[in-house]
Structure 1
């Protein structure tokens, strides 16, 4: 996630284009023409080994060493086999940024299977030069008057940044956006991503004040999924982020690696992007429509939509599409209905969607839109128009535009048709009003914004109180896994898998293991009621043993056995059938359980799998031995909290079944959510856990009960894509003056209510010293940002202690450190409750955050305070900070070196002499 030198790509003072010529088909020549036409203010040089004096009026030099100065940015359009040597030369000459437009570097050079791309990466590494590409289209930054690309047209200036992985799709987007008069703050494609990666660029643009929205065109996630999600989650907290994810599969899906038990990796991508708080679209036209919405819509007031048209057909299409995507029609107030009745025919439908009738003129359209925007129940208005002689498209557009300019509500328009509708849509585009071709597209565009805000709400939900899940049994769980790995087994035996669940307090049916048919009969006699017998073999110790239909591979279970004769006969047949399929050394005996069919149970399928891109994934859905368990499989990335676990359950059709059939659905939902939390905890505790499948688990009036489970292992530890809660940083402390016992730990989302209470106990003076100004009570969104942090990017430690009345815990103080993307500097802030001054809380918190940042390799920790905050300044001096007055900001800066810089760019960032 490093952003060092990226400024040289986005705001270079000088550019050299290698491989440029005056030929019509010269990519480098096209880049120079585009730089000139975009009005680039810096120096431009062409470099070509052939003897050109100039290229399109730009001076041309034969070699790098002939240049009058080394450029900030080198753009490489040379033949593939020359690129590595060129990068090596740029590195020697201290050029720190190179953008490679040349393609074809993925081909192998020799029998070693090394590619030209690998050679370029190795050439750049010793010199610290950053590489964008190869095979990228270049970069366009209108605010810097820079079109450093091979695009056939320039882009307009706007507030949306576009980052793509496909150059051709990028040029199509430019062409479309220019035609729609939509602009960009930045536009680039990364190509093969040899060095500069997606997270780095997202981090850079997330900090750019001129970028209000980010569009990502994504083929795949290369490199660290954790870095990618961390960057996207961070960006989406402050900016609109939209992702066009292409279908990974081209051709045969079986040729692509998938997570076991997951039939389509789109499920995992959907879960990951939802978790990041962004909106995903799956088609390019959706991206275009979403772009239209993102660039032109006003802040969302809510989700309730009013629809109007001069006919019932388009209204029906739009309404159907709205309901299909889970949207909401606005219920009109009586006042609005009466007002509309005065301008509509007597037979109008008196409801939303509003039928203006085929004789509607532009004035009726405009007045109806005006009245709907005044309705307190309406959050947005969609106006659909079918051209008639009574209401031409252009006149209607102009009338509605006047209303749209005067309202804070969002108004979307749809002018159906072509011959007479094109000009109307052009008028709307020029006025900055979102307009679309069809009712369905219009609704989809509205739902993009709705989905974004829903995802943001989920990301900022205040989790219920934290439930401590830790137990001494977890040590035994880790031992269980390690013992299997030491025996070179990549699975747990059935009995070990049962024990693992028991260690995490997951209820499991009484299970008995037998080696022979006689033992099965003997054990069955001791079990009350009917029994089931399962044959154990080498294959079904692994999770996800399905055939192509998603059903279990073999009929290895016999059920509803009552008498000893039935047990013996069925087990004998089962044994014979297994003997035909597997060799004797693969058979592992039988397990016997009491049947639970008579308990009116619902069956669920839940567990853990590991995605090749995003790592561990938790899944949930309807289960059973005879159903297609893949048909209702929903996934979410761990770690989970109660809110996320509940959201995963709500996605499944099992949720509706529970609501319709359970006499205590809320209690059942709570138990299932607790189960998911235990699985999430298991993922964090056991990094060698590859897969775990519980199928079926019964849900009935007696609670939850696991009937069958299988577990697979991997010698390689799995890494979560989202940083888990750092429990290992928790420690007990004793307050200095009162001797009160307290806990110092990392903050978590469940602390939000206590954090608000803590804030409200601060004096106005403490708030002013902390924030440098007087401020009101923080909003939920602010509190969520403070408590639901990304532990890969920032850290906040709190001290919490039992309340004096014994009713729960309270927060006493907090320290926060936010580290830059390059891990050079961490900026801290600390605040202690006024009534607890002198208890040593400030020293304890500051030492904690200093040690934490130092252990992460952060080079410097710094903070600022007001000149009259002598307490903070004295504390900083006591801890070893260097204090200095900053006259420009009128604050006192406090700095401490934690680790020595090892590279020149780090020293430059810290203003340290070489």
Structure 2
């Protein structure tokens, strides 16, 4: 998440190119030519030991020490073996940024040797030099007149940032975009990502006011998945982020390992991208079309699509595609239908999609489109055109463009065909109107915008009220795992696994255990009725242990045993099978349960697994004891709230069954979501929990019941999304009234109380906090204030039981936002007017200062109006230095928290 020195990549004042020559095919020569053709305004220098005086008119030097000045940015195109030494020399001369275009640095000559890429990292580490690459195509920044790449052509200036991992796909994108007259604010590929990674670049371009959208071409996530998700979530709150992700391969070219219980690691990436608010596209074609859409469409105001065409066939294709991808077809208003009847031939079908008939003229196309733009039940219009003599493509395009220029609504266009349609699409491109070749492409592009909108809504859903956790029981759960690891074991016994669920109040079927057949018969006799017997052994003790060839867990189970003779026969058969296939050393006895089948039970599989990239994952779907359960497997990243838990359930076919057959669907949804939330709590509380599978979890009219469970344990893992930092909670008493309260980090569940808190502020307090008068905050604003990324910002609130017994209320809040390099934190604070004098300002500010100091932040600062004497006095009391900022007409308050330890930190503090 560090953007340290990245400005030197994107806005350098001087550039030195290593390995530049005028030899045909010289990569350094291509880079110099590109820099010259893009009219780079800064100083250019070349370095080549061959002794050239100039390369394409640019002065050339034999080595770094011969340069007239040290460059902001070095671009290395030299042979692979020379790169580590060049990096060392650059670092020694205080150069802080380098792009390595040279490829082949990750290849090992022998298994024991380091790669050159690893040598480059070691060479750069002592000097803090940032490296882009190796094996990247470079970067292009039209706003800085800089084409520092080996691209065969330059790019146009635009509002889209492209960040890729494949250089060749990057050059193809440039070629395509230029053909469509689409521009970029930034364009770069990362190559091997030895240092500068996706997270850092996403953070940088997300802060750029001229970048409206981000396109991310992703092969894999290397480094910290938490940093990646955090950067992506932050960017997607303000910009549309589209991701093209290819298959995941390891360094040896084989498919990367997947999480146990997950049939395809791709679904984990899908879940991660959705949780981050980004939209995934499946193919390069979709990426191009998505770029077409996002660069030319206005912000989406809704999802209801109206379709018009001069024929029913293309309308049908578009409608089918829309409904199959989960889109919404607009229902036309009566007023719109009446207006359309005056224009369309008699006998037209008065509904959406609108068939204009084959004799439609360009004027009819435009008139119908204009009527639809005024229908409040229509959000977006797709105009599909098939060329006819009555409606030539180019003339129709010109008429549609006139309507688009006058309308605040989005209108997508599709020009089917080639000979005459190409020119129509060119006219639309020239007018900055999205144009597509087929109806399906147009609908897919529209649905990418819809997916983004939906992801944002899910990300900002207000969670249900927070329920306090049973801390005492959770400590018992930690002891269960600690005791097993001390033996050592990498699994829990069946009884321990059931006990673990019990500590989190997950209903578990009563289980009884025996080491031999006679013991099983005695247990069955005591229980009475029908029983089920499970053979326990070392192969079925692990979660998600499916094998569709040699081993099925259902073979370890005997059900519906009603007589003691049946019990003896079934147990003997199970014992023989375990002895033959597992061996006596793997035998762990038997589990006996009363049968719980019936009551129209629904079998569900729910649990926890661990992905190699994103860590712990919550799993949900249909239950059973064969690999068939993988057909309905859905995943989501923890930590989760009630809204996210319900979203996970709704993605499964289990939800459709509940909707159709349950007598209490809302109760069933609540119970399933509650189980998922408890598993999410487990993930946060128990970092050594490697996997957990409840299969089956029965759902019927009596409620939910975990019948069988398996748990594996291992090394600690880190969640990809930072969980709620409960360790920062602190009990206090108000200074004047002695009223008990809690200072704690804010949660998404606090949104309703935060609105109540805001509504109790006086207009003067609001003006002091925001520097202007403002209205009631929207849900989107409240969600941004309460659903924070604890890795990036912190908001502490004082919460206390309300005096009228209506539940807790918020009394005050302090917020600190830290820059990605942890140099400065900016604070803001506001206290309810009726609680002035209770000492809340001191409590909250000290909490914020202590928090920032513990994170090694160097400076905490804030601003207030000159008339806010109370805030100025509080700051001085706590040790802040107050100075009047004449330019902004505010009082700046600043406190040094930690001393800088590196030169770059000192430099940043001076600016």
Distance in 1 of aligned mates of 2:624 and 2:107: 48
Structure 1, unmatched stretches of 5+, are none
**Is residue 397 of structure 1 aligned with residue 374 of structure 2?**
no
Alignment of 1:789-808 (within 5 A): 789-808=788-807
Name 1:858's counterpart in structure 2: 857
Name 2:100's counterpart in structure 1: 100
Conserved 8 A contact 2:160-2:295: yes
**How far apart are 1:471 and its partner, in Å?**
3.2
Conserved 8 A contact 2:621-2:634: yes
Name 1:295's counterpart in structure 2: 295
Name 1:658's counterpart in structure 2: 658
**How far apart are 1:112 and its partner, in Å?**
2.6
**How far apart are 1:64 and its partner, in Å?**
1.1
Distance in 2 of aligned mates of 1:353 and 1:645: 36
Conserved 8 A contact 2:553-2:626: no
Distance in 1 of aligned mates of 2:551 and 2:449: 38
Distance in 1 of aligned mates of 2:173 and 2:844: 50
**Is residue 134 of structure 1 aligned with residue 161 of structure 2?**
no
CA shift digits 1:49-89 (9 cap, x unpaired): 11211111111111111111111100000000000000111
CA shift digits 1:20-74 (9 cap, x unpaired): 0001200000000000111110011111111211111111111111111111100
**How far apart are 1:251 and its partner, in Å?**
13
Distance in 2 of aligned mates of 1:761 and 1:296: 42
Distance in 2 of aligned mates of 1:546 and 1:876: 61
Distance in 1 of aligned mates of 2:251 and 2:329: 40
Conserved 8 A contact 1:861-1:896: yes
Alpha-carbon RMSD across the aligned residues, in angstroms, is: 1.3
**How far apart are 1:196 and its partner, in Å?**
0.7
User: 2:295 aligns to what SS in structure 1?
Assistant: helix
Name 1:283's counterpart in structure 2: 283
TM-score by length of 1: 0.99
**Is residue 683 of structure 1 aligned with residue 683 of structure 2?**
yes
User: Which shows bigger deviation, 111-120 or 344-353?
Assistant: 111-120
Name 2:573's counterpart in structure 1: 573
Structure 2, unmatched stretches of 5+, are none
User: What is the number of equivalent residue pairs in this alignment?
Assistant: 911
Alignment of 1:780-795 (within 5 A): 780-795=779-794
User: 2:471 aligns to what SS in structure 1?
Assistant: coil
**How far apart are 1:839 and its partner, in Å?**
0.1
Distance in 1 of aligned mates of 2:529 and 2:178: 74
**Is residue 823 of structure 1 aligned with residue 822 of structure 2?**
yes
Alignment of 1:285-684 (within 5 A): 285-548=285-548, 552-553=552-553, 555-626=555-626, 628-684=628-684
Distance in 1 of aligned mates of 2:806 and 2:131: 57
Distance in 1 of aligned mates of 2:348 and 2:800: 64
Name 2:217's counterpart in structure 1: 217
Name 1:756's counterpart in structure 2: 755
When residues 548 and 134 of structure 1 are mapped into structure 2, their CA distance, relative to the original with a 3 A threshold, is farther
Distance in 2 of aligned mates of 1:254 and 1:690: 24
User: 1:485 aligns to what SS in structure 2?
Assistant: helix
User: 1:302 aligns to what SS in structure 2?
Assistant: coil
Distance in 1 of aligned mates of 2:737 and 2:159: 54
Conserved 8 A contact 1:814-1:831: yes
User: 1:757 aligns to what SS in structure 2?
Assistant: helix
When residues 35 and 430 of structure 1 are mapped into structure 2, their CA distance, relative to the original with a 3 A threshold, is same
When residues 576 and 294 of structure 1 are mapped into structure 2, their CA distance, relative to the original with a 3 A threshold, is same
Conserved 8 A contact 1:162-1:186: yes
Name 2:159's counterpart in structure 1: 159
User: Which shows bigger deviation, 110-119 or 784-793?
Assistant: 110-119
User: Which shows bigger deviation, 129-138 or 524-533?
Assistant: 524-533
Distance in 1 of aligned mates of 2:801 and 2:552: 51
**How far apart are 1:110 and its partner, in Å?**
5.0
Distance in 2 of aligned mates of 1:253 and 1:156: 35
CA shift digits 1:670-718 (9 cap, x unpaired): 001110110000000100000000000100111111110000000x201
Conserved 8 A contact 1:15-1:72: yes
Distance in 1 of aligned mates of 2:796 and 2:16: 48
When residues 549 and 574 of structure 1 are mapped into structure 2, their CA distance, relative to the original with a 3 A threshold, is closer
When residues 210 and 759 of structure 1 are mapped into structure 2, their CA distance, relative to the original with a 3 A threshold, is same
**How far apart are 1:578 and its partner, in Å?**
1.3
Conserved 8 A contact 2:554-2:625: no
Runs ≥4 residues deviating over 6 A: 250-254
CA shift digits 1:328-365 (9 cap, x unpaired): 00000111111111111102111100000011111111
Distance in 2 of aligned mates of 1:642 and 1:697: 19
**How far apart are 1:608 and its partner, in Å?**
0.1
Name 1:702's counterpart in structure 2: 702
Conserved 8 A contact 2:133-2:191: yes
TM-score by length of 2: 0.99
Conserved 8 A contact 1:550-1:628: no
User: 2:226 aligns to what SS in structure 1?
Assistant: helix
When residues 430 and 299 of structure 1 are mapped into structure 2, their CA distance, relative to the original with a 3 A threshold, is same
Conserved 8 A contact 2:546-2:627: no
**How far apart are 1:488 and its partner, in Å?**
1.2
Alignment of 1:708-723 (within 5 A): 708-714=708-714, 716-723=715-722
User: 1:162 aligns to what SS in structure 2?
Assistant: strand
Name 2:179's counterpart in structure 1: 179
Name 2:844's counterpart in structure 1: 845
When residues 253 and 85 of structure 1 are mapped into structure 2, their CA distance, relative to the original with a 3 A threshold, is closer
Name 2:265's counterpart in structure 1: 265
Alignment of 1:111-260 (within 5 A): 112-249=112-249, 255-260=255-260
